[in-house]
Chains A and B, each alone.
Chain A
Amino acid sequence: MSTRHSTYALAGLLVAAVTTGCGGAVTTAANDKADGVYTQLAGLPKDQQRARAEELAKQEGGTLSLYTSMTADIATPIAQAFEKKYGIRVSVFRGNSETVLQRTLQEAQAGKAGADVVETNFLEMSALSDNGVLAQFNGSALDKVDPTGKFEHWTASRLNVFQPAWNTDLIKPADEPHSWEDLALPKYKGKLTLEVSDSDWFENVTKYWLDHGKSQAEVDKLWKDIVGNAKVAKGHTTMMQFLTAGQTPMEAMNYTYITVRAAQQGAPVTHLPSSGVSKIPAFARPNGVAMVKGAQHPATAWLFYDWLLTDGQKELVELGLTPSTKVPGDKSLDGLTLAPFDVEGLSKDHGEWDKKYDALLRGAATVGE
């Protein structure tokens, strides 16, 4: 390279470095204002909080910005129900959970919070909480939530339940799986589908097996056999598409609500054996809600948080989801054997489980041949 060319390259990199490097702590007046509202609401007696929040929400202009990874067919009716109750317009940013996390973090780092409330998956909520982006909520709505659903800065609003799913035209009652171990059986060779991002399921099943007397070697063998039986797909809803079409006979794991919704459309799929009762430990992953620090509409955010854990829970049930509180008429857990979701193991070193699962799946290429 001639000197001139290097100067050119160097200058380009300089600009890049400057533009990327000039971030850092930006605190703004909006931040302080929002935090003031949060503190004020938190300091009130519990029975006065909601009324005061409604009052302040009116002053905030009657709009709310929600970032969520709920699919549109759920997010839209939820937003409408909230609008109906309070007359507050909800603008919804929908993305997958990673996008919601990235966008919220980017905006927080620039000191320009775009979201008032965030509602997304366990892992991303924990990450937001760890990064100090979320504000504390202490309303009376928390009383109904099980202690396992309460986290630092956020609260479970709904649960995604892990179960296998299969096409009833292709898997006859005699061939239904009755445990996670069954997935390793030779009869499922070539019939199973695994999802590329299910490392949280992988971690929970692994932990469950280790806790219930299996040795590491036995666990490794089981996974090797499961992967040997399986093909890999991307996206839980995509997988369900192929399952309903009869393209694949069985999924190692899908969220029960996705299976139920497909079955409601008339597709021949289920997650429950013909007996109606599944003995397969059902891990229920909490997805949650939180208020964002420095939000434009902090009091409105408080109202939505409160609503999603109270009236909103009924809406979730109507949409076929599993609520995080006890709601009369909720049938989403019928026939399931719940097992505790391993919050601790996943919060500790999640990156590791992702890598392990990734490596396990890539082994599929050699195991399968």
Chain B
Amino acid sequence: MTLVPTTASRDDSPEPRSDAVTGPAEAGGPGRLARLLRRPLSLQGLLVGGAVVIVGYLAVVPLGYLIHDTFLSADGTGVSLDAFSRAYGGNSQSREMLLNSLWFALGSAALALVLGTVLAYIQVRTDTPFKGLFFAASLVPLIVPGILYATSWIFLGDPSSGILNSLVFQPLFGTSPVNIYSVWGMIWVQGLHLAPVAFLLMVAAFRAMDPSLEESAAMSGANRLTVLRRVTMPLLRPAMISAALLMFVQSLESFEVPGLLGLQNGIYVFTSRIYFVLRAYPVDYGAAGAYAIGLLLIAAAGVLLSSWLRRSSRNFQTVTGKAFRPRPVELGRARPFVGAGVILYFLITVVLPVAVLVYASLLKYYAAPSRKTLSEMTLANYRTVFEMPLAFTALKNSLIVGIGAATAVMILTAIVSWVVLRTKAPGRRLLDLLAFTPIVIPGLVLGLALSFVYLRMPLPIYGTLLILLVSYCTRYLPYGMQYSSAAMTQMSPELEESAHVSGASWFQTFRRVLLPLMSGGILAGWVYILVVSFRELSSTILLYSPGKEVLSVLIWEQFENGQFTTLAALGVCMVLLLVLLVSIAYRLGARFGLQNDSAN
């Protein structure tokens, strides 16, 4: 890597950046981007250039801060690798930590991918009963804040007193087989929590897939399994790769599950090490950065692997000029079994944890269900929530920042994914990689980087909601990129070419052809970002200002107060609210011609 310039040229003017972003592109010879940028002041030139610059800027700020802190030696004069020996050397048990992290992340991503893909297939492509349940199953685990979801599972799956063991397995089988404090328990909880990410991405992919390919295979004598294996799966590869990568890296950088379930039995991962380092004083930012860079290397390997796997993406373009309507597969005799499976999944991922939350929200303090606790139930916690002076402000702020970030990120990434996938602009891979880096920056480091920059900027950003918006846009950039590129990969360039030939300008093509066809993926990404931004805490907690609280801050406050029961009530309210909000979004989407399930 290029380490030297970080320190050697600190006094240089910020000029080089604009060079970096547009320079190589202009020099890039023939290519669509070059064609576009030859008229840099045209609308499209500004749009594309602006999006690239903004995305680059958002990603570079925290990354630069991280690299600066990690490689600067203790005396502040040169480059050093001491931070890495502090982080990984000595008695740090880094091999175990690495293995735990990879095992946990791979397991969770695999579980979530299988669950999400199967569910998406059943939802989009079959005539399964209970389709309405998918909507809740795809959202609720996303909405419930990680601390609550993990805590619910502790109450369910504790080896000695968990409800599953004490009320189900112990009376029926005489054993307590469920132990949530194990790597398997962690994978289970994280996998269920992540499955909606895969589900949202895969639903969009299935919808955009031309079923005539499958039909031709079936006509040619392939049985159902062969069609699935040889036609359907390969066509979905880009989306599956995106989903797997996203969930793998997200598991690597998540802390709630490893913090609540893993620490109990000394199962340490990267993020628990980062947590330890960041909470000590004086804070060893170098060591924290060294861990984050370890994560970054793993993630970069994942990005490279995924683009290598996607290398022949021409083969996966299923959205072509030809009209199609996916026709549902008739399940026939399997229908009741699939229906039962859907109900079971719904019970496990939605009903069980939410029931624990509802149950807890009616108590004064949490205790396992008994006659005594059942007789003492009260709505007092809900009263507390509604009487919280900040509840309304926080809700309003969360909505503003969440909708703002979701919209901004999806617009930016739709454009940037076009640059990355459709042009031959040099540096596009680097841009792709750069846009992925925020995913591994620890939230606190992101918070520090942003406050560092914006405290020194004369613009009124620090201390306002804008800084939260910047922070959320940065954090969710990688997710937006994955959703947008998955949608873009499926689309054949011939559509743009025909639009171009028919005399449409770039902007017209983008707005009238690309965006509508990508809308399934874009809406999925938008919903995802909106929902998760409601629970973002790690950078929010450093950046919010009094009077500018958001809901996640209130949740954290209740958690710190030790009011798990009030928190549960707040969680239940949030689930209701976001489910309502997202169904409105889907309705609106449908009205504006978004592809939906009507074809089924």
Q: Which of B65, B68, B562 contacts A258 (CB 8 A)?
A: B562
Nearest-neighbour CB distance to chain B for A255, whole angstroms, equals: 11
Q: Is B130 an interface residue (CB 8 A)?
A: no
Q: Is B502 an interface residue (CB 8 A)?
A: no
Contact status A71-B20, CB under 8 Å: no
Which residue of chain B is the closest to A103 with respect to CB atoms? B542
Q: Is B476 an interface residue (CB 8 A)?
A: no
Stretch at the interface among A155-163, A242-250, A326-334: A242-250
Which residue of chain A is the closest to B10 with respect to CB atoms? A21
Contact status B20-A94, CB under 8 Å: no
CB contacts under 8 Å to B, within A82-126, are 91-96, 98-99, 101-103, 106-107, 110, 112, 114, 123-124
CB neighbours of A355 from chain B (8 A): 280
Whole-angstrom distance between the alpha carbons of A48 and B449 in the complex? 44
Contact status B263-A71, CB under 8 Å: no
Whole-angstrom distance between the alpha carbons of A262 and B558 in the complex? 14
A225-255 vs B, CB cutoff 8 Å, 1 = contact: the mask equals 0000001111101101110111100000000
Contact status A362-B268, CB under 8 Å: yes
Q: Is A187 an interface residue (CB 8 A)?
A: no
Contact status B546-A65, CB under 8 Å: yes
Q: Is A351 an interface residue (CB 8 A)?
A: yes
Nearest-neighbour CB distance to chain B for A266, whole angstroms, equals: 6
Most chain B CB within 10 A, of A18, A99, A124, is at: A18
Q: Is B216 an interface residue (CB 8 A)?
A: no
CB neighbours of B280 from chain A (8 A): 199, 350-351, 354-355
Q: Which of A16, A242, A365 contacts B63 (CB 8 A)?
A: A16
CB neighbours of B158 from chain A (8 A): 247
CB contacts under 8 Å to A, within B1-34, are 1-2, 5-7, 9-14, 16-17, 19-20, 23-24, 27
Nearest-neighbour CB distance to chain B for A64, whole angstroms, equals: 10
CB neighbours of A174 from chain B (8 A): none
Q: Is A364 an interface residue (CB 8 A)?
A: yes
Whole-angstrom distance between the alpha carbons of A361 and B234 in the complex? 47
CB neighbours of A114 from chain B (8 A): 463, 545
Contact status B7-A17, CB under 8 Å: yes
Which residue of chain B is the closest to A69 with respect to CB atoms? B560
Whole-angstrom distance between the alpha carbons of A199 and B542 in the complex? 23
Which residue of chain A is the closest to B376 with respect to CB atoms? A266
Contact status B426-A12, CB under 8 Å: no
Whole-angstrom distance between the alpha carbons of A363 and B353 in the complex? 33
Contact status B427-A8, CB under 8 Å: yes
Q: Which of A12, A93, A124, A359 contacts B60 (CB 8 A)?
A: A12
Given known A12-B64, A18-B10, A124-B281, contact A246–B161 (CB-CB < 8 A): yes
Which residue of chain B is the closest to A14 with respect to CB atoms? B16
Stretch at the interface among B236-244, B451-459, B514-522: B451-459
Nearest-neighbour CB distance to chain A for B5, whole angstroms, equals: 5
CB neighbours of B5 from chain A (8 A): 10, 13-14, 17
Given known A21-B68, A106-B452, A127-B281, contact A72–B561 (CB-CB < 8 A): yes
CB contacts under 8 Å to A, within B237-296, are 259-260, 263-268, 275-276, 278-284
Q: Is A20 an interface residue (CB 8 A)?
A: yes
Whole-angstrom distance between the alpha carbons of A18 and B7 in the complex? 9
Contact status B56-A12, CB under 8 Å: yes
Q: Is A196 an interface residue (CB 8 A)?
A: yes
Which residue of chain B is the closest to A234 with respect to CB atoms? B259
Q: Is A25 an interface residue (CB 8 A)?
A: no
Q: Is A23 an interface residue (CB 8 A)?
A: yes
CB contacts under 8 Å to A, within B411-460, are 426-427, 430, 434, 444, 447-449, 451-453, 455-456
Q: Which of B93, B276, B366, B563 contacts A196 (CB 8 A)?
A: B276
Whole-angstrom distance between the alpha carbons of A112 and B455 in the complex? 7
Q: Is B582 an interface residue (CB 8 A)?
A: no
CB contacts under 8 Å to A, within B456-499, are 456, 462-463
CB neighbours of A359 from chain B (8 A): 91
Q: Is A267 an interface residue (CB 8 A)?
A: yes
CB neighbours of B453 from chain A (8 A): 19
Given known A7-B24, A127-B281, A365-B265, contact A16–B6 (CB-CB < 8 A): yes
Q: Is B154 an interface residue (CB 8 A)?
A: yes
CB neighbours of B6 from chain A (8 A): 13, 16-17
Whole-angstrom distance between the alpha carbons of A131 and B447 in the complex? 21
Q: Is B88 an interface residue (CB 8 A)?
A: no
Contact status B365-A98, CB under 8 Å: no
CB neighbours of B577 from chain A (8 A): none
Whole-angstrom distance between the alpha carbons of A234 and B262 in the complex? 10
Q: Is A189 an interface residue (CB 8 A)?
A: no
Given known A234-B259, A234-B260, A247-B158, contact A20–B65 (CB-CB < 8 A): yes
Q: Is B61 an interface residue (CB 8 A)?
A: yes
Whole-angstrom distance between the alpha carbons of A359 and B277 in the complex? 12
Q: Could you name 10 residue pairs across A and B whose Cβ atoms are closer than 8 Å?
A: A18-B10, A22-B456, A73-B563, A123-B281, A196-B276, A245-B155, A245-B368, A246-B367, A265-B365, A350-B280
B interface residues, Cβ below 8 angstroms from A: 1-2, 5-7, 9-14, 16-17, 19-20, 23-24, 27, 56, 60-61, 63-65, 67-68, 91, 93, 96, 151, 154-155, 158, 161, 181, 259-260, 263-268, 275-276, 278-284, 364-368, 426-427, 430, 434, 444, 447-449, 451-453, 455-456, 462-463, 541-542, 544-547, 553, 557-564
What are the 8 A-B residue pairs with the smallest beta carbon separation, nearest first?
A16-B64, A365-B266, A11-B20, A237-B562, A110-B455, A21-B10, A91-B546, A11-B16
Contacts A72-B558, A72-B560, A234-B260 known; 13 new A-B pairs at CB < 8 A: A19-B453, A23-B456, A71-B557, A71-B561, A73-B561, A98-B281, A102-B444, A106-B455, A123-B281, A231-B181, A238-B559, A351-B281, A365-B96
